[in-house]
């Protein structure tokens, strides 16, 4: 199964430099415009289904990206990492350059990146039961890094250091391949 991964568009928290984590978050005016532009790019794309995080910023991005052209499945396993006590706090205070500390150890009151990996692994196992050829996924940073680990063969350290967000090298979708036997 081919997976095209999309990250929700810019939120008011992104613009304020805050880590949203499991907080719902709201798309900013810039994020709404980004979603409309991506919708135009996606008009000629076909997916068997779209899977999205249950957090509002991903759900709203999904609606704007795809105009209900495909079946949508909302799944909590696609949530961003739970940053615990750091949800809603400035990213600069705890995250930049320190992500590797939380690969196995959870954020205080939250979860680790390996916890996110287990959620995504569970989702991929579920997806392997569907007869889909090509799906879209709309979610967040940590689930995408988990896909880089699970399907891209990267270590967590490598996924974090090579994350496109470090260079602001956004693109309209990242491609992954779910093997038949996952």
Active-site amino acid positions: 8, 80
Residues 65-100: b if buried by 16+ CB within 10 A, e if exposed = bbeeebebeebebbbbbbbbebbebebeebbeeebe
Residues 108-121: b if buried by 16+ CB within 10 A, e if exposed = eebbbbebbbebbe
Query: What are the DSSP E strand ranges found in 75-171?
Result: 134-139
Yes or no: say if 64 and 36 are a contact pair by the CB < 8 Å rule: yes
């Amino acid at each position: 199964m081919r997976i095209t991964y999309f990250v929700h568009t810019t939120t008011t928290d992104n613009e304020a430099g805050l880590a949203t984590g499991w907080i719902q978050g709201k798309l900013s005016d810039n994020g709404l415009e980004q979603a409309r532009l991506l919708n135009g790019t996606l008009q000629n794309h076909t997916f068997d289904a779209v899977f999205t995080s249950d957090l509002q910023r991903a759900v709203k991005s999904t609606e704007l990206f795809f105009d209900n052209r495909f079946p949508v499945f909302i799944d909590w396993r696609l949530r961003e990492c739970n940053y615990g006590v750091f949800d809603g706090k400035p990213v600069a205070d705890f995250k930049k350059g320190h992500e590797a500390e939380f690969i196995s150890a959870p954020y205080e009151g939250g979860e680790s990146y390996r916890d996110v990996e287990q959620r995504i692994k569970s989702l991929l196992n579920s997806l392997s039961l569907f007869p889909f050829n090509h799906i879209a996924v709309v979610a967040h940073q940590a689930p995408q890094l988990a896909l880089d680990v699970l399907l891209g063969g990267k270590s967590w350290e490598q996924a974090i250091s090579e994350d496109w967000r470090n260079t602001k090298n956004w693109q309209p979708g990242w491609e992954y391949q779910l093997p038949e036997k996952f």
